């Protein structure tokens, strides 16, 4: 019979919290030791990976394999072409995925993982650089590797010796490699957004120039334009405002719904845009993040922003453009 007993509010076990805290503290020790031990082998690994003509092939079995998949995914998303190859599948044909231009990064806790033997032999046969991420300093993988990265001998956080601290160190070391390669290649936020068009990260890097309206869509008039014509432009363009330019194309001000209300009188239609406009309006750069534009519009309680560079309007952004793109 299924146990349907539920913990009552406040029934949290103090011993569970203590066990959890001990695990975290043990893994912190591992990460601290890893940071302190980082040295020439890490620098050599980064150099080898950065100079690879082909791809980075990341491999590992079991828990190390799960970490290897994550490392490959992190590298791929930060500008380093990387793939995960399952060592058991490699022995049944997938070795052909690895070329002589590639670099292999192999993960193993013991360094004696039997399934890695064919990949190791393949690397040796075809002179493919082999980087090892391993815990035991005296092991087959360490001896075979061109660049062995040996993890500090910090005990596992599990009383059964299940991979815990070691996999945490592997994951962190993989992140360190990926970020070092990112820095070496000058990979930036624009590049990152190309690889992350979906999801919250991609949306966070959307720029104003990616969303703004431009060209004939811009609601623009000159200083001398009569307000009756300004109203026609404002109605046709549907942004709730009109930009006012001088003869050189510089944006001088904007006419908004608020300006219309403030100047409401029988004489309004006989006035010019320059007489009604709000001067020195809030604007934003094309290169600014769309999230920054949303923050400005929320702070100013406005719904549109002219996008300006060199004093001239290049586009206009409405709050709805940002919301449709998922920028909040």
Domain with CATH 3.40.50.10490 in the chain: 21-187
pLDDT above 90 for 8: no
At residue 204 the predicted structure's pLDDT band, cuts being 50, 70 and 90, is low
Q: Where in the chain is the domain with CATH 3.10.580.10?
A: 208-324
Which of the four pLDDT bands, split at 50, 70 and 90, describes residue 197? low
Distance CA 114, CA 63 (A): 14
Kindly tell me the burial class for residue 186, based on how many C-beta atoms sit within 10 Å of its own C-beta (0-12, 13-18, 19 or more): exposed
Domain 208-324 coded CATH 3.10.580.10 = yes
User: What pLDDT shows up at residue 37?
Assistant: 95
Residue 269: pLDDT over 60: yes
For the chain, give the percent of residues with pLDDT over 70.
Answer: 90
The secondary structure of the chain, three-state, reads CCCCCCCCCCCCCHHHHHHHHHHHHHHHHHHHHHHHHCCHHHHHHHHHHHCCCCCEEEEECCHHHHHHHHHHHHHHHCCCCEEECCHHHHCCCHHHHCCCCCEEEEEECCCCCHHHHHHHHHHHHCCCCEEEEECCCCCHHHHHCCEEEECCCCCCCCCCCCCCHHHHHHHHHHHHHHHHHHHHHCCCHHHHHHHCCCHHHHHHCCEHHHHCECHHHCCEEECCCEHHHHHHHHHHHCCCEEEEECCCCCEEEEEEHHHHHHCCCCCHHHCEHHHHCEECCCEECCCCEHHHHHHHHHHHCCCEEEEEECCEEEEEEEHHHHHHCCCC
| Highest mean pLDDT: which range of 204-208, 271-275, 300-304 | 271-275
In 10 A of CB 288, how many CB atoms? 18
CATH number belonging to the domain at 21-187, selected among 3.40.50.10490, 2.70.70.10, 1.10.1040.10, 3.40.50.150:
3.40.50.10490
pLDDT score recorded for residue 201? 53
The pLDDT mean for the chain works out to: 90
- Predicted confidence (pLDDT) per residue in 11-46, tens digit: 568 888 999 999 999 999 999 999 999 999 999 999
> What is the pLDDT at residue 221?
96
Which of the four pLDDT bands, split at 50, 70 and 90, describes residue 78? confident
Which pLDDT does position 239 carry in this prediction? 92
Question: Residue 275 — very low, low, confident or very high, per pLDDT cuts 50/70/90?
Answer: very high
Q: Is the pLDDT of residue 190 over 70?
A: no
C-alpha–C-alpha distance, residues 105 and 322, integer Å: 41
Distance (Å) of CA 71 to CA 59, 105, 133, 173: 10, 10, 12, 9
If one counts every other C-beta atom within 10 angstroms of the C-beta of residue 58, the result is 29
Which carries the bigger pLDDT value, residue 79 or residue 126? 126
| Close Cβ partners of 37 (under 8 Å, ≥ 6 residues apart) | 152
Quick: pLDDT tens for 140-164.
999 999 999 999 999 999 889 899 9
**Between residues 4 and 129, which one has the greater pLDDT?**
129
* Cβ atoms 168, 162 nearer than 8 A: no
Calculate mean pLDDT across residues 123-148.
Answer: 95
For residues 175 and 170, give the distance between their C-alpha atoms in angstroms, rounded to a whole number. Answer: 9
- Global confidence as pTM: 0.60
């Amino acid at each position: 019979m299924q146990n349907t007993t539920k913990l009552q509010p406040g029934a949290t076990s103090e011993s569970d919290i203590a066990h959890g805290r001990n695990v975290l503290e043990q893994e912190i020790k591992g990460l601290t030791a890893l940071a302190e031990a980082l040295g020439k082998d890490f620098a050599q690994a980064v150099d080898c990976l950065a100079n690879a003509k082909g791809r980075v092939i990341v491999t590992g079995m079991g828990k190390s394999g799960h970490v290897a998949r994550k490392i490959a995914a992190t590298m791929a998303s930060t500008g380093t072409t990387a793939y995960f190859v399952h060592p058991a599948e490699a022995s049944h044909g997938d070795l052909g995925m690895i070329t002589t231009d590639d670099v292999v990064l192999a993960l193993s806790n013991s360094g004696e993982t039997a399934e890695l033997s064919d990949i190791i032999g393949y690397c040796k046969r075809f002179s493919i650089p082999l980087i090892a991420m391993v815990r035991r300093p005296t092991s087959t993988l360490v001896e075979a590797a061109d660049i062995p990265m040996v993890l500090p001998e910090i005990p596992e956080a599990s009383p059964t010796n299940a991979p815990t601290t070691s996999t945490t160190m592997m994951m962190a070391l993989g992140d360190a490699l990926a970020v070092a390669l990112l820095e070496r290649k000058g990979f930036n936020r624009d590049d990152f957004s190309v690889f992350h068009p979906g999801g919250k990260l991609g949306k966070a890097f959307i720029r104003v120039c990616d969303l703004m309206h431009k060209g004939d869509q811009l609601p623009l008039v000159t200083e001398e334009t009569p307000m009756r014509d300004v109203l026609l432009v404002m109605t046709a363009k549907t942004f709730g405002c009109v930009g006012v330019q001088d003869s050189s194309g510089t944006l001088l001000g904007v006419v908004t719904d608020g300006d219309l209300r403030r100047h409401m009188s029988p004489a309004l239609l006989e006035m010019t845009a320059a007489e009604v406009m709000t001067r020195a309006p809030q604007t934003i750069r094309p290169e600014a993040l769309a999230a920054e534009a949303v923050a400005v519009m929320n702070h100013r309680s406005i719904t549109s922003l002219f996008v300006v560079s060199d004093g001239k309007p290049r586009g206009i952004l409405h709050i709805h453009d940002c919301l449709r793109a998922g920028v909040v």
